[in-house]
A and B are shown apart, each in its own frame.
Chain A
Amino acid sequence: MKKIIYLDNAATTEIHPDVLNEMLPFFKKMYGNPSSIYSLAKSSKRGINLARERVAKALNASTKEIYFTSGGTESDNWAIKGIAFANEKKGKHIITSCIEHHAVLHTCEYLTKYGFEITYLPVSEKGIIDVKELERAIRKDTTLVSIMFANNEIGTIQPIKEIGEIAKKNNIYFHTDAVQAIGNVSIDVEKLNIDLLSLSAHKINGPKGIGALYIREGVNISSMIHGGMQEFGRRAGTENVAGIIGLGKAIELSTNDITRKTGYLKELRDYTIDEIVKRIPDTIVNGDRVKRLANNINICFKYIEGESILLMLDHEGICASSGSACTSGSLEPSHVLLAIGLPHEIAHGSLRLTLSKNNSKEEIDYVIERLTAIVKNLRELSPLNK
């Protein structure tokens, strides 16, 4: 197989060798069920406790506020449905944004079948919500505000601190999907007044199928998965022990020394964006240039379609992503790109590159060279370019 240049780290990441090494014994000798009484089971239990401490430390939370789940999607589902149903006597109104992940949007849509009302806050052309709009949207019957920490497509970082303050002042729970932000931005749930936070291991060089929901102590939330007494009796099911161990190690590694890591990534990101814009005419950089994840690049190339770009890049061994209809599995391009005001035909031509600290400048130079040729090639094929 030829060399792969992996620029899709917002989709998933390569597992870190230290993470894998800590997980392996729990697939082999330490297979005990953490709920059992004998010594074999104790090592599983201790492993889970250590992982819980590591996750809590990364968020400045306490261990009893960390609940392991199957990933970001389950955490979002639990947070939103759990708060909605537990607090429906107070009200049935939820505020979110129109650029959330589908794990949030489709959960909210589901709740409308049960009489809940949802307000979708618009975003600016840079992809950021207006906190004044949030204040105006709050009603007496609002129980939850769910706004993502950072967007998975265009990388914009939301004004989380202000949102947290507004929610607290109005006595409303604040949930944030921080799946993309963990390891990229330092997060302190106390300082930011976050009541619930979703995270996932496989975005931070951990394994797939494991995540966590932070639930502030005292928050009134229903359980979604009923059964045994695991996770303090709030999320049943025998623990994914090796996965939990992996998440613990991954979050420790990814939140350690964030400033240095993001320093390198920001430099590489800005270099990539500037070079692409300089070399390829008729491009649009999506999202905010400053309030942006250190590893996110999202650019539209006029007159061409995203899936075509991806296929050509793949032919060169380059892995990337797009918000075109053909990659979303529907006829509509990305809801995020439409929400920032892009016309359909331009949204179809988007390309997302998400970097990791393993990417070198040499790799980026190669990608830019190939991309320049690919865009030129596809534009020659396009009837819109005439």
Chain B
Amino acid sequence: MEEYSKEVIEHFLNPRNVGEIKDADGVGEVGNPVCGDIMRMYIKVKKDIITDVKFLTFGCGAAVATSSMVTEMIKGKSLEKAEEITNINVAEALGGLPPIKMHCSNLAQQCVKAAILDYRKKHEK
């Protein structure tokens, strides 16, 4: 298999923002256990800004590293800016991913969207 970058290994071994937020404003979950990866993301939102984020992931090294990286990327950002992040942005921030692992970065980006969607549904006026 192609090697992981140093950044991927570093995020995998020391993932940021792991855990749950009990009173989260939005929760997103993507993937399924059959394919071998599931990501769940919790966000706290204040005045359209993501003030806190946590995640739990079942999956390979790339799945954990992309989850960790994407939480770092959206923390402190507006919902609009967070939604603009693409899977390519996540992969680039990690120094690239082996081609077969690009779907993991897709998952991370979809998980952000799912959490924001959940927040919007719950907070529609």
What is the CA–CA distance of A335 and B21 in the complex, to the nearest angstrom?
A: 38
Q: Is residue A115 within 8 Å, beta carbon to beta carbon, of the partner chain?
A: no
Contact of A384 among B15, B33, B64 (CB under 8 A): B33
Contacting residues, chain A, for B39 (C-beta < 8 A): 383
Contacting residues, chain A, for B63 (C-beta < 8 A): 305
Contact mask B29-41 → A, CB, 8 Å, 1/0?
1000111111110
Number of A-B pairs whose CB atoms are under 8 Å? 70
Contacting residues, chain B, for A305 (C-beta < 8 A): 36-37, 58-60, 63
- Of the listed residues A324, A329, A380, A382, the one surrounded by the most CB atoms of chain B closer than 10 A to its CB is A382
Interface set, chain B 53-71, CB cutoff 8 A to A: 56-64
Could you tell me the distance in whole angstroms from the C-beta of B53 to the nearest C-beta in chain A?
Answer: 15
State the main secondary structure of chain A at its contact with B. Answer: helix
Q: Is residue B117 within 8 Å, beta carbon to beta carbon, of the partner chain?
A: no
Contacting residues, chain A, for B37 (C-beta < 8 A): 305
Contacting residues, chain A, for B18 (C-beta < 8 A): 380-381
Q: Is residue A355 within 8 Å, beta carbon to beta carbon, of the partner chain?
A: no
Q: Is residue B119 within 8 Å, beta carbon to beta carbon, of the partner chain?
A: no
What is the CA–CA distance of A329 and B101 in the complex, to the nearest angstrom?
A: 10
| Interface pair B61/A311, CB less than 8 Å apart | yes
Interface set, chain B 1-52, CB cutoff 8 A to A: 1, 4, 9, 12-13, 15, 18, 20, 29, 33-40
For chain B, the bracket of interface size reads 20 to 34
Q: Is residue A345 within 8 Å, beta carbon to beta carbon, of the partner chain?
A: yes
What is the CA–CA distance of A1 and B64 in the complex, to the nearest angstrom?
A: 26
Contact of B34 among A303, A312, A345, A380 (CB under 8 A): A345
What is the CA–CA distance of A311 and B13 in the complex, to the nearest angstrom?
A: 9
Instruction: For B9, give the chain A residue with the smallest CB separation.
Output: A311
Instruction: For A379, give the chain B residue with the smallest CB separation.
Output: B58
Could you tell me the distance in whole angstroms from the C-beta of A350 to the nearest C-beta in chain B?
Answer: 11
| Interface pair A383/B9, CB less than 8 Å apart | no
What is the CA–CA distance of A196 and B56 in the complex, to the nearest angstrom?
A: 51
Q: Is residue A37 within 8 Å, beta carbon to beta carbon, of the partner chain?
A: no
Q: Is residue A216 within 8 Å, beta carbon to beta carbon, of the partner chain?
A: no
What is the CA–CA distance of A230 and B7 in the complex, to the nearest angstrom?
A: 51
Interface set, chain B 95-123, CB cutoff 8 A to A: 100-101
| Interface pair B36/A326, CB less than 8 Å apart | yes
| Interface pair B64/A344, CB less than 8 Å apart | no
What is the CA–CA distance of A308 and B65 in the complex, to the nearest angstrom?
A: 11
Instruction: For B35, give the chain A residue with the smallest CB separation.
Output: A331
What is the CA–CA distance of A304 and B13 in the complex, to the nearest angstrom?
A: 15
What is the CA–CA distance of A315 and B9 in the complex, to the nearest angstrom?
A: 9
Could you tell me the distance in whole angstroms from the C-beta of B28 to the nearest C-beta in chain A?
Answer: 11
| Interface pair B58/A331, CB less than 8 Å apart | no
| Interface pair A312/B13, CB less than 8 Å apart | yes
| Interface pair A324/B36, CB less than 8 Å apart | yes
Contacting residues, chain A, for B1 (C-beta < 8 A): 327, 329
| Interface pair A325/B35, CB less than 8 Å apart | yes
Could you tell me the distance in whole angstroms from the C-beta of A309 to the nearest C-beta in chain B?
Answer: 10
Could you tell me the distance in whole angstroms from the C-beta of B78 to the nearest C-beta in chain A?
Answer: 26
| Interface pair A382/B57, CB less than 8 Å apart | yes
Contact mask A357-382 → B, CB, 8 Å, 1/0?
00000000000000000000000111
Q: Is residue A47 within 8 Å, beta carbon to beta carbon, of the partner chain?
A: no
Interface set, chain A 312-328, CB cutoff 8 A to B: 312, 315, 324-327
Residue numbers of A with Cβ under 8 A of B are 303-305, 307-308, 311-312, 315, 324-327, 329, 331, 333, 344-345, 348, 380-384, 386
What are 11 A-B pairs with beta-carbon distances under 8 A?
A305-B60, A308-B12, A311-B9, A315-B9, A344-B33, A345-B36, A381-B58, A382-B57, A383-B38, A383-B58, A384-B58
